[in-house]
Each structure stands twice: as C-alpha cells, then as structure tokens.
C-alpha cells in the first residue's frame, strides 16, 4: 500500500531479501501501483513465496479520481494520501479474518504505522515499522521535535510504539543514533538495521531505470566515480522524488558543494 515512489523501491529491496531468507511475503498493493512490482514478481516467478493482494484505492475528496501514486501530484498531497490509505484498515482486517493461512506479522511503511499498529493489535500479531531512512535522521527529528513545523503528516517517530522497527541503515554508520533511539525512545531491543538495501542487480540493470528515466547513463556515473581520487570522499545530495528545487536553490546547493572541496 505504498503510494510514495522512493518508499516503494526500498520496500521492494527489503521484500527481495526476505524472500531470499525463505520467508513468504504478501504485498498489499493498489491497482495502479501493481506494475511497479513486475520486475520483482518476474525475478521470483518460480517461487510460491511471493504473493500480491490488490486492494482498490480508497476515494478521497482531495485526491483526483484515478490517482493512486503521489508521484502524480505535489508533496503537499502527502497527508491526503496517508488519510486515504488509512481507510484500508477495515478491508485489511476482513482479509486477515477470512484468509485460510493469514500472515503472522505486518511490515508497514513509516508513514502508515499509526493505523497499522492498531490493525496489528486487533489481529494479535506484531507490526514491524519499516523506516526507509537512516536512524540519524530519525534521531534528529526526535531531538528537534518542538522546533519542527506542523506538516500534516506523521514523522517516523510515530513508528516508535510498533512491536519492532526496521531501519534502512547499518550499525557501522548509525550505531550512536540506533543506541539513542533504542534506549531513550523505543525502549526495547527489537530494532534491526538491515541496510544498506542496495538495488536488486537483476532488476536495476534493465532498460527501465528505477524511479524513472535517468538523465545521465549509469555507465557514465560509474566512470565518473572511478575517476575520483581515492583519498577524497564523494558527496551525494538527494531530495527524494517529490522535491523540485528552484534555480536559486540549486545554485546555492551547487555553490556549497563546490566550496566543500569534495567531489560532487
């Protein structure tokens, strides 16, 4: 039920790893997002461990009819998408109740955990929230919570009451932040850093780029990275699929990167 393109890619990579571990996974998806799963479904076509359940996208007064993916709208519509998806609580509860062999746990996106936690509690199964960003970013949210403006959408902090939390990160990078979140906020040890979740090679090398068509060929990017001096780090700056910078903002970022003295 992921209507956020960047989140969907991370969930696909996580699903791939779970399948390699021998688990059976059912992906809940809305009709117009089903095609995003085709590469993953094709890769695991010989296995019975990957299943899909297609649920109609709930209607919402602020979302145009036929739109089921935030990529088709502006980031300001994100709260409306979260609100619309929360209406799937009852259909999902019914699906679990009537399934001959229902799943034993839910893995939900970081923006949906408020109502998926409730659903899991009603079903008496654990809900594990998947936070697609690193723990340091979440810790920064927590430390500066009172300074953040209201944006109408839950921060990953809402996932902390979940039975378990998965971070798309790794201990060597995020050990301090993972410890702070675990001891001071989550207050249990059911925390897993499963990253970095790299793109599935069999999928990402195809003619269609993940997340949309790239403006620069992949081999050109790799060649540039190989050309960079070994003793210097490379700074990667990304704003997600929903953020479009103005020319003035782009110039400011470019100027800062140039002044950093790092390859960028």
Catalytic residues: 7, 109
Handedness of CA 52, 19, 139, 119 (dihedral sign): positive
Cβ-based neighbours of 141, under 8 Å, separated by 6 or more: 148, 155, 156, 157
Residues 8/168, Cβ–Cβ less than 8 Å = no
- Of 58, 59, 62, 53, give the one whose Cα is nearest residue 29: 53
Phi, psi of 75 (to 5 degrees): -60, -25
How many other CB atoms are found less than 10 A from the CB of residue 63? 20
């Amino acid at each position: 039920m992921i209507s956020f393109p960047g989140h969907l890619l991370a969930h696909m990579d996580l699903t791939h790893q779970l399948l390699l571990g021998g688990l059976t996974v059912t992906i809940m998806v809305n009709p117009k997002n089903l095609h995003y799963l085709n590469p993953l479904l094709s890769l695991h076509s010989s296995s019975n461990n990957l299943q899909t359940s297609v649920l109609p996208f709930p209607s919402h007064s602020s979302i145009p009819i036929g739109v089921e993916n935030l990529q088709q709208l502006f980031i300001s519509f994100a709260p409306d998408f979260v609100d619309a998806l929360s209406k799937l609580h009852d259909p999902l509860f019914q699906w679990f109740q009537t399934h001959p062999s229902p799943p034993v746990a839910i893995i939900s996106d970081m923006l949906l955990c408020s109502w998926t936690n409730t659903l899991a509690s009603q079903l008496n199964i654990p809900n594990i929230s998947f936070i697609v960003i690193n723990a340091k970013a979440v810790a920064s949210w927590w430390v500066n919570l009172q300074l953040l403006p209201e944006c109408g959408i839950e921060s990953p902090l809402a996932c902390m009451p979940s039975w378990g939390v998965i971070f798309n990160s790794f201990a060597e990078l995020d050990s301090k932040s993972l410890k702070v979140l675990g001891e001071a906020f989550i207050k249990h040890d059911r925390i897993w850093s499963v990253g970095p979740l790299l793109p599935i090679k069999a999928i990402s090398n195809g003619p269609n780029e993940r997340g949309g068509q790239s403006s620069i060929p992949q081999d050109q990017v790799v060649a540039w990275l190989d050309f960079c001096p070994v003793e210097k780090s490379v700074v990667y700056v990304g704003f997600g699929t929903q953020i479009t910078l103005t020319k003035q903002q782009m110039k400011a970022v470019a100027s800062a990167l140039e002044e950093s003295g790092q390859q960028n």
